[in-house]
Amino acid sequence: MPDDIQFTQRSPETTLPDPAPDALAALTAAMAEPPDQRRVAVSTVAARWPRYLDAWATLAELPGPDVDRYAFARVGYHRGLDALRGAGWRGSGYVRWAAPSNRGFLRSLDALRSAAEAIGEDEEATRCDLFLRQLDPSWRPS
């Protein structure tokens, strides 16, 4: 084999589509509500746009019972996996934070890690942490 031939194999990188502008505007408005009204306002956004991952991630990040945060994060995570598959992801490769449209999924996965830890699901928290780092090796430390 000639010495000048180099083989490189890069992991594929998946970027999710941008959210609908009206969903983004609705979430921004919901987060502008007083703190005691945000959960209801963000829930309305998630109900109107159930595939909008940032809405699920936001619900999972808002203060509330750990089991509720866990449930919201799990919905965002599973909806995110569906969206990734729809965008061509085949179970491996990068899904980087640098792409703003990926952040709802990554935030949901990180919120799932946090909520799993809070309810004592340590194995799941560890799996989520590892998955985050596989998807984006530059992921910020937990």
Question: Which pLDDT tens digit goes with each residue over 42-58?
Answer: 999 999 999 999 999 99
Alpha carbons 85 and 80: distance in angstroms, whole number: 9
Task: Please state the pTM of the whole predicted model.
Answer: 0.90
Name which of 102, 96, 108 is nearest 140 in CA terms: 96
User: What are the φ and ψ backbone dihedral angles of 43, each rounded to 5 degrees?
Assistant: -60, -35
User: Which residue positions in the chain have pLDDT lower than 50?
Assistant: 1, 7, 142
Per-residue confidence (pLDDT) for residue 6, from 0 to 100: 54
